[in-house]
Amino acid sequence: MIPYGKHHIDEEDIQAVVSVLRGGALTQGPTIESFEQAIAHYVGARYAVAVSSGTAALHLAALAAGIGPGTKLVTSPITFIASANAGLYAGGDVVFADIDPQTVNMSPSCLEKVLKADPAIKVVVPVHFAGLPCDMPAIKSLADTAEAVIIEDAAHALGATYPDGHRVGSCINSLMTIFSFHPVKAIAAGEGGMITTNDENIYRKLLRLRSHGINKLNDEFQLAEQSSTNGELNAWYYEMQELGFHYRITDIQCALALSQFKKLDSFIEKRREIATRYDLAFRDKSINFKPAQLSGGSQSAHHLYVLRFDFDALGLSRNDCIKRLRGAGIVTQVHYLPVPMHPYYRNLGFNPLDYPNSVSYYQESLSIPMYFDLSNNQQNFVINELFKLQK
Ligand SMILES: Cc1ncc(COP(=O)(O)O)c(C=O)c1O
C-alpha cells in the first residue's frame, strides 16, 4: 500500500534515541533544550518551548494569549479540529472565517468581516494549510486594527518560508507559532509540539503552564518564609503560582525529533520535487481534477498534496475514486471535514452554510500520497491510476 503520508526513520534516528536511553535523563533533561534551541535558531525566533503535542501547544498558546471566558478565538474551518478546540479548552468561544478557495487558507477579507462583527475576538489563529503560508501581513494588519493577537498554527508548515524570506515560526507577524511533530508531519517525535515566540513574558508563562504552573527561570517566589532560610534560597523549593498542566515532552522524543531535524532540509526538498512533478502532471486543463493550491509552491512545506475534483464531470463519486485507488494500493484521505460541520460544533449552533468556500472545497478535495520515501516510480504509478479515473 502507498499511504498518503508517512515518516522516514533511519539508523541515525535509532541511534539518537538509543543514546538517550543509555545516557541518563529520560525526561526533563538536556535534549529537550537542545531541540528547542535548534528549532528557535532555524525559524529565527528568540524562544521555543517544546510540549507533548501540537494540541497541547495550541492550548497553552491560547491561554498565554489571554483567551478565557468572554473572549473568542477565530480560525479557519478547514483545519484539524485542535486549532478550534484550543479556544474552548482555554474557556473562551470560537468563531470561523471562511477560506480563500485559491489557497485553502483563511481569507483576509472573510477575516475582516468576522472581526468587524465581533469585538470579543481577541486571538486570530491562521492555519498554514498543507504547509502553504497564509497572507500574514494582511492578517496582522486586520488583527492589529481589532486589537487581537495572532497564534499561527504551523502544524503543517515547519520548513515553509513567507514571501519576504523569513521562516514560518519566526513570529515576525504574530505573537506565537505552534508546530506538531506527529509522524505524518515534516519531522517526527512520535508525538510532540512546539511553541515559538519573541516575547519573554509569554515564554516564561508557557514554561510555567507546561509544568503545572510551577515557577521557572528564577520567577520571584511569593512565599518568602518558605522559599528561604536565614536569607538563603532553599534549593528544594518550588511554587505553583497559576493553574498549569503536565504537557512536558520527554528527552526520548526530543532525541528522535532532533535527529530528524538534521534532515529537515532534505525532507522539504524532496516534498518540493514531488509537488512539482504532480503540478506538471495535473496542469492539463481537460482533466476533471486540479491542484487545490495553485500558487506559493516555492514557499510551502508541502505537508499534503490536495487535488480538487469535479466529481460530477468525472461521473464518479469521491467514495468511488477512493475505493478504486485503494484497490490499486493507493491510500488517499480527506483534509478536512470543516470544523463547524462536526456534530459537536453543530450542537454549539454553527451552520456550515455560513462557510460556502470551505464546504465546496471539502466536497471536492482528496489528498494524494506525499512523503519523503515516495519514489518516482511510485509517484508515476499514482499519477497513472488517477488518470485512469478519467476513463
Ligand atoms: C493544523 C493542525 N493543527 C494542530 C494539530 C495538532 O497536532 P498534534 O496531533 O501534534 O496534537 C494538527 C495535527 O494533525 C494539525 O493538522
- Average predicted confidence (pLDDT) for the chain: 97
- Do 213 and 342 belong to one domain? no
Pocket of ligand 1 from Cβ distances under 6 Å: 53-55, 79-80, 82-83, 127, 153, 155-156, 180, 182, 193
Please check whether residues 175 and 297 belong to one and the same domain: no
Band (pLDDT 50/70/90 cuts) for residue 146 is very high
Q: State yes or no: pLDDT of 351 exceeds 80.
A: yes
Q: Which atom of ligand 1 is nearest to the CA of 193?
A: 10
pLDDT band at 216 (very low <50, low <70, confident <90, very high): confident
Strand pairing partners for 317? none
Answer yes or no: do 139 and 274 share one domain.
no
User: 370: how many CB neighbours lie within 10 A of its CB?
Assistant: 25
Same-domain check for residues 302 and 354: yes
- Maximum CA pair distance of the chain? 85
CATH number of the domain to which 204 belongs: 3.40.640.10
63-74: pLDDT as tens digits: 999 999 999 999
Helix (H) or strand (E) holding 48: strand 47-51
Look up the domain containing 331 and give its range.
264-388
Q: Any idea what the CATH number is for the domain that residue 283 is in? A: 3.90.1150.10
* % of the chain surpassing 90 pLDDT: 95
Task: Verify that 135 and 270 share a domain, yes or no.
Answer: no
- CA of 286 from ligand 1 middle (Å) equals 35
d(CA 49, CA 194): 5
User: What is the per-residue pLDDT across 129-145, written as a single tens digit (0 to 9) for each?
Assistant: 999 999 999 999 999 99
**Domains identified in the chain, total number:** 2
- Centre of ligand 1 to C-alpha 181, Å, is 8
User: Is the pLDDT at 282 greater than 80, yes or no?
Assistant: yes
- Among 225, 241, 261, the domain boundary falls at 261
pTM: 0.98
CA 55–ligand 1 middle distance (angstroms): 6
- Nearest ligand 1 atom to alpha carbon 57: 11
Q: Is position 358 within any domain?
A: yes
Helices (H), the chain: 11-23, 30-43, 54-64, 82-89, 108-117, 136-145, 200-210, 224-227, 251-261, 264-281, 311-314, 318-327, 343-347, 356-364, 376-388
Instruction: Give the pLDDT confidence score for residue 215 in this predicted structure.
Output: 87
Question: What is the mean predicted confidence (pLDDT) over 339-354?
Answer: 98
Quote the CA–CA distance of 74 and 338 in Å, as a whole number.
14
Same domain, yes or no: 184 and 318:
no
**Do residue 281 and residue 250 come from a single domain?**
no
Q: Which of 94, 96, 106, 182 to mutate to test the pocket of ligand 1 (most atoms within 8 A of CB)?
A: 182
pLDDT digits (tens, 9 = 90+) for 222-278: 999 999 999 999 999 999 999 999 999 999 999 999 999 999 999 999 999 999 999
Do residue 69 and residue 163 come from a single domain?
yes
Pocket test for ligand 1, best of 80, 106, 151, 187 (most atoms within 8 A of CB): 80
Cα–ligand 1 centroid distance for 219 (angstroms): 31
Q: pLDDT by residue (tens digit) across 41-57?
A: 999 999 999 999 999 99
pLDDT of residue 217: 84
DSSP 327-347: HTTB--B-----GGGSHHHHH
Q: Are 352 and 338 in contact (CB under 8 A)?
A: yes
In a domain, 16, yes or no: yes
Residue 163 resides in a domain: yes
Is the same domain home to 257 and 313? no
The answer on pLDDT for 285 being more than 90 is: no
- Of 203, 59, 79, 198, nearest in space to 132 by CA: 79
**pLDDT value of residue 33:** 98
The answer on 364 and 231 residing in a single domain is no
From ligand 1's centre to the CA of 81, what distance in Å?
8
CA of 80 to the centre of ligand 1 (A): 6
pLDDT above 80: residue 302: yes
Which atom, in ligand 1's list, is nearest to the CA of 55? 11
For residue 218, pLDDT over 90 is answered with: no
Confidence band, pLDDT 50/70/90 cuts, at residue 219: confident
Nearest ligand 1 atom to the CA of 182 is: 10
In this predicted structure, what is the pLDDT of residue 199? Answer: 98
The Cα-based distances of 343 to 2, 58, 111, 348, 363 in angstroms read: 31, 22, 24, 9, 17
- Give the containing element (helix H, strand E) for 229: strand 228-229
Q: Cα 78 from chain centroid?
A: 12
From CA 198, how far away is CA 176, in angstroms rounded? 8
Q: Which of 238, 261, 284 is where one domain is finished? A: 261
Percentage of the chain with pLDDT > 70?
100
In a domain, 3, yes or no: no
Q: Quick check: helix, strand or coil at residue 191?
A: coil
Tens-place pLDDT, residues 92-106: 999 999 999 999 999
- Predicted pLDDT at 24: 80
Q: Which amino acid would we find at residue 372?
A: F
Residue 282 covered by a domain: yes
Q: Are residues 309 and 248 in the same domain?
A: no
| pLDDT digit string, tens, across residues 3-29 | 999 999 999 999 999 999 999 899 999
Query: What is the number of the ligand 1 atom nearest to the C-alpha of 58?
Result: 4
Last residue of a domain, one of 261, 288, 303: 261
Statement: residue 182 has pLDDT above 80: yes
In a domain, 230, yes or no: yes
171 domain-assigned: yes
CA of 345 to the centre of ligand 1 (A): 18
Q: What would the mean pLDDT of 311-329 be, rounded to a whole number? A: 97
Residue 323 lies in a domain: yes
Residue 21 to residue 14: CA distance in whole angstroms: 11
The reported pLDDT for the residue numbered 241 is 92
**One domain for residues 143 and 203:** yes
25-35 pLDDT tens trace = 999 999 999 99
Atom of ligand 1 nearest to the CA of 129: 1
The pLDDT score that the predictor gives to residue 294 is 86
